[in-house]
């Protein structure tokens, strides 16, 4: 099945696909072990910085190698891609999907750039899925000391149904990531904001295409369940993976101060990430 078919199938079944970011091998292995254990499809995401670190062709090759080893469908998404050149690069390299993110631009410019991104990606690979983003939710998958100042969070600042419909019609994107009260990153001292479920429902009706929820880290379990019912079919998790990675590495180093075998030190990171992935995938897939 193609990614498009898998997302449509998830929509019909009232579940969501998990999208997890990686920037090295341990997280990739942990995520795929989790997906494989639950026998559910999975999307691996790499942002511009993450894929620069691994290498674009190397990321594609790694995912391809895992596809041969695991029986679950594994897809690769070029997360938060900011230039048209970078869109062309990943379309050529064999990614299954790309998120072109001009959400910081005013709506008109976002529409113009995203439309161009769709055209350029589909010329190179007619099957690639292109996602657009509307409403700005911050840029960093990290621990935040306070809410970023310039994000769309209050209902009056979120995209309207009309804006969503216009964006989708004019750009011809396959998937849409709207701001619905979600943020990138996890707040250090207070819970992340609650999702605006009414807006999810409204935007789903206006968009008429699958919706992607970014900034899934730090969102309450029940918010996920309600958001999926309201029209979300893919959910991104990154910060929680990064936090588990760091905790695991620290634990691995502390456990035996003389240990120098990387695979022994890193095994705690692998287990920690896998636990997060299993927990999230069970919620997303209604298991
Ligand atoms: Zn994101």
Distance (Å) from CA 211 to ligand 1 centroid: 13
Distance (Å) from CA 152 to ligand 1 centroid: 14
Specify the pLDDT at position 166. Answer: 98
Specify the pLDDT at position 201. Answer: 98
Protein residues near ligand 1, an ion, with CB under 5 A: 214
Distance (Å) from CA 21 to ligand 1 centroid: 9
Specify the pLDDT at position 281. Answer: 98
Q: Which pairing describes strands 17-21 and 232-237: parallel, antiparallel, or unpaired?
A: parallel
Distance (Å) from CA 273 to ligand 1 centroid: 18
Category of 94 on φ-ψ map: left (φ > 0), alpha (ψ -120 to 50) or beta: left
Alpha-carbon distance of 276 to 272, in angstroms, equals 7
> Band of the pLDDT at 98, cuts 50, 70, 90?
very high
Distance (Å) from CA 259 to ligand 1 centroid: 36
Q: What angle do CA 140, 200, 113 make, to 5 degrees?
A: 55
Average pLDDT, integer, range 244-251 = 98
**What element of type H or E holds 235?**
strand 232-237
Take residue 173 and report the two structure tokens written for it: 């994107």
DSSP 156: G
> Band of the pLDDT at 170, cuts 50, 70, 90?
very high
Distance (Å) from CA 215 to ligand 1 centroid: 6
Average pLDDT, integer, range 161-190 = 96
Alpha-carbon distance of 150 to 236, in angstroms, equals 21
Alpha-carbon distance of 119 to 126, in angstroms, equals 9
Q: Which residues pair with 3 in a beta bridge?
A: none
Percent of the chain with pLDDT over 90: 98
User: What phi and psi, each to the nearest 5 degrees, are found at residue 154?
Assistant: -70, 150
Category of 99 on φ-ψ map: left (φ > 0), alpha (ψ -120 to 50) or beta: beta
- Annotated catalytic residue within 79, 96, 101, 174: 79
* Environment class of 270 (CB within 10 Å of its CB; exposed 0-12, middle 13-18, buried 19+): buried
Does residue 149 surpass a pLDDT of 90?
Answer: no
Specify the pLDDT at position 143. Answer: 95
Distance (Å) from CA 281 to ligand 1 centroid: 17
Average pLDDT, integer, range 192-216 = 97
Specify the pLDDT at position 18. Answer: 98
Number of other CB atoms surrounding residue 153 within 10 Å = 20
Distance (Å) from CA 262 to ligand 1 centroid: 30
Alpha-carbon distance of 34 to 276, in angstroms, equals 9
Question: Are 174 and 195 contacting, i.e. CB atoms less than 8 angstroms apart?
Answer: no
Going from N- to C-terminal start, the domains of the chain cover 3-241
79 classed as catalytic: yes
Alpha-carbon distance of 14 to 233, in angstroms, equals 8
Distance (Å) from CA 9 to ligand 1 centroid: 23
CATH code for the domain defined by 3-241: 3.20.20.70
């Amino acid at each position: 099945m193609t990614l498009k078919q898998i997302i449509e199938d998830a929509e019909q079944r009232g579940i969501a696909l998990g999208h997890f970011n990686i920037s090295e091998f341990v997280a990739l292995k942990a995520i795929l072990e989790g997906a494989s254990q639950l026998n559910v499809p999975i999307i691996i995401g790499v942002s511009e910085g993450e894929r620069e670190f691994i290498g674009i062709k190397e990321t594609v090759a790694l995912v391809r190698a895992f596809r041969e080893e695991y029986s679950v469908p594994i897809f690769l998404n070029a997360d938060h891609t900011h230039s048209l050149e970078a869109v062309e690069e990943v379309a050529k390299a064999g990614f299954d999907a790309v998120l072109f993110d001009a959400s910081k631009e005013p709506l008109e410019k976002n529409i113009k750039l995203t439309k161009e991104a769709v055209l350029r990606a589909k010329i190179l690979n007619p099957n690639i899925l292109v996602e657009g983003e509307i409403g700005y939710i911050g840029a960093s998958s990290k621990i935040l000391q306070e809410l970023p100042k310039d994000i769309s969070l209050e209902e009056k600042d979120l995209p309207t149904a009309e804006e969503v419909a216009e964006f989708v019609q004019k750009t011809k994107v396959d998937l849409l990531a709207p701001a619905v009260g979600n943020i990138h990153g996890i707040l250090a001292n207070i819970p992340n904001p609650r999702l605006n479920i009414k807006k999810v429902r409204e935007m789903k009706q206006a968009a008429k295409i699958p919706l992607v929820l970014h900034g899934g880290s730090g969102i309450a379990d029940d918010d996920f369940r309600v958001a999926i019912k309201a029209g979300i079919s893919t959910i991104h998790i990154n910060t929680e993976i990064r936090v588990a990675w760091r905790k695991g590495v620290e634990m691995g180093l502390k456990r035996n101060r003389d240990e120098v075998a990387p695979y022994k030190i890193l095994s705690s990171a692998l287990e920690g990430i896998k636990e997060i992935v299993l927990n999230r995938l069970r919620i997303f897939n209604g298991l």
